Structure 1
């Protein structure tokens, strides 16, 4: 059982939003106000919860709670959907005695349906009656097509803790954040420093994940710090935060819809970190390369193809590609045993190492293999 940091309590229940009857409504409440950082999807079709979160973030006020529903995205639902989202936040605020603007709301699930507000009105007040220190049900309740809950934690030298939860399995090609991730910490951290560092951490973690190339309307990530365990060294805290978010990002990639293999692409020798991440993510997103990984086919030509269209600078005359540690290309095709490499690819994680040979920057991205099961899951998603 994963315990939340000091001063955070969570609850979850089945409100009837998911047709399956599984838990689908959850909240985390802090005993004290939280400094926080946030990133939300850049999709032009962003859901109501993302728009509201942006308004709260711009206001700069502290948070006290996070409220999430799963099974209904409340996206493309117009002004009525925005009103439903605001009411959802107000319901929890009233139940725990905090202003509505201190409650962050998030929704995930099917796009294009209004929230079943009668069920939300019945369920939200009950959450306040069952708050406890464990994070496990919170992680389970935010799941949609995930096959497993995703949590990660770190402890700082001063004893302050960070606990993160995430959900995501499909419609994953974040353009700022992840499907959902929330990191809770009892450390006291300067909010300005946290917010300044957050975009870079997001770029190196959740924005380096891809499952299917589709960016969700509801992507959101936030880090909340309630200061209950005292001040933390800023550099130590930010390093731990990045480690937690990286751990969660890899879990999301590993749990991609229909996936059996984690695909890791490590790029060095890039002109900039942005170029390294661009090259790595383009490779990880390539349907052709993902299919090759599924078939244990060391077809490194698909890496060259993806790099060439990525937009990242490269020097083909000195470019290097390794598959599972085996050099296969260095300016020209190398001699290797395809059967040996194919056998090495029969693993839970397949790693491509790439040297673009134009600079000193590096970056890493994560994806998964592409299987027939992915098509089945999404062919049957609403029917």
Structure 2
């Protein structure tokens, strides 16, 4: 048996423990770095795709919502139940009993239901009184103002008149769109012959409850409604509705009163920055159960710009056909008061263009966009996704033979 020295055993142990060379180590580090870099790129691409998908989804969602809301509200322009505003003015059968729509105020104000639609361009046009104090509305954008009757209505069962007071017993006093009990709101009273706008108070929600319009209190201003004729202006409660019932003078082909009550609504839509500094579409309307306007509220986020064009009937005698599209200032054309009301009644359709952006960054190159022919260049350069939405909406209550 051969005895081996300790040095020999140590040499054999060392030869069986060969290590990694420096070159091999460097190659391994490079390979690992490449793998990590690939993973980072994959993760980054996935994150970017996710941001773009999320941003595009938000843009599309906000675009659809804003477009659908505008379509619905614009289609109600001129609606006065059984009849439209143009025919009411031709027949002189519309009476506005509300104060403070002075014909000398350019653009009218919140109670001017004689003008169901109007608009102006910020920085160019003149803002109505109720919007003149709103700060931050983006220059170059258009502001849209609508004063419309609600689609919902309830029947009027009876009408009674006393000195400076009109009382309407309604068939469905618990209808959700009517005012809360003892809350004053603006209402439209109409039948197939005429229409009135006034402020009223609902005194209950059970059968036999009534809407009472008190006279000589703001915002109602009218002559004594117990008067039965319209011999002098301003006309009291429209005798074509009330007297047909009270004096048993039946409407043509219908012995009933045939009157209904609607809510009279105000909407102002404009673009201004929200709390986060993102341009958004804001909505201002009457407070719930009140005749005063609430503070503007953010309605749709990310609406950077809104442009409007109006289909206008230029015929000397309006024929109900669109001849050209005009800006708000071209519709106004320097007119004021009743003449301006008449100009806006010649509007038969509205083209709406909106530039809509995503809330966050998405790495998209900034550029200039065309919105209804107007160049719009974003000022924040944040790489957000942006899309232009355009639609044309017919004011169907004003179209010929509608």
TM-score (structure 1 length as normaliser): 0.19
Q: Name the larger-Rg structure.
A: 2
More helix by share: 1
